[in-house]
Amino acid sequence: MATPYKRILLKLSGESLMGDQEFGINPIMLEHYANEIRKVIDAGVELAIVIGGGNIFRGLQAEKSGIARVQGDYMGMLATVINGMALQSALENNGIFTRLISAIQMDRIAEPYIRRRAIRHLEKKRVIIFSGGTGNPYFTTDSAAALRANEINADVILKGTRVDGIYSADPEIDPNAIRYDRVSFDEVIKSGLKVMDMTAFTLCRENNCPIIVFDINKPSNLQRIVEGEHIGTLVD
């Protein structure tokens, strides 16, 4: 089946790897994501992934522990590298060729980020996993996703979450929350909807990079989006 997307960037939160655990990496979730990604690769789509580190450490939590914000942010970046290594292993166990790329140089385990090399990996149908955030403190992995998506000329950012789209309020708290099928960048800002942090969102808006927020935990949702089906909420 023809797909409307040639190249996509998938944003996964670190928390998504926890499954029903309180922290860490759940092997069941790793296998789930590997299977979902396999379907996308089989459809001929070029795929890059940005993964968070909140299942291991959050930079914003550091100050409560007496750790300086900058130091805590770097610790969070290292957590994303750990998650990237775990995801890489799961993908390669499923026969998917990958490259782990880190914004922080650590040549024993990951390639440094070089834009032209990353694009070449995609053209060769390798899945690339961007880790280490942007390599700078004060920026979230949402910002890293927006930055890398625009750098590699991705057609869309797919933000995998635990809910099936964007709501007017947190649907896990407010049963009357309204779900949006499609919303403009301006409407998101005007209504104060939670999509990404404002730095990431502004970068997407200025470069006309659409965002789809969807439930990554529902089997085949990722494949259905790639095949052109309307799943989740589209921001454009």
* β-strand pairing of 233-235 with 182-183: parallel
Residue 14: its pLDDT value, please?
87
Residue pLDDT, tens place only, 10-53: 999 888 888 888 888 999 999 999 999 999 999 999 999 999 99
Q: How far is CA 114 from CA 54, 77, 84, 167, 225, in A?
A: 25, 18, 17, 37, 29
Residue pLDDT, tens place only, 139-154: 999 999 999 999 999 9
Residue 125: its pLDDT value, please?
94
Nearest to 145 by CA among 74, 50, 58: 50
Nearest to 182 by CA among 165, 170, 196: 165
Residues 6+ apart with CB under 8 A from 73: 59, 62, 133, 137, 138, 139
| Contact present, 80 and 141 (Cβ < 8 Å) | yes
Residue 62: its pLDDT value, please?
63
Burial of 233 (0-12, 13-18, 19+ CB in 10 A): buried
Residue 188: its pLDDT value, please?
87
1 pLDDT above the threshold of 60: no
What is the CB neighbour count within 10 angstroms for residue 175? Answer: 7
Residue 59: its pLDDT value, please?
59
Residue 2's pLDDT band, with cuts at 50, 70 and 90, is low
Outline where the chain has alpha helix (H): 27-42, 69-93, 115-123, 141-151, 185-191, 198-206, 221-226
How much of the chain, in percent, has pLDDT values that exceed 70? Answer: 97
Domains of the chain: 7-235 (3.40.1160.10)
Instruction: Give the global pTM.
Output: 0.93
Residue 22: its pLDDT value, please?
82
Residue 194: its pLDDT value, please?
81
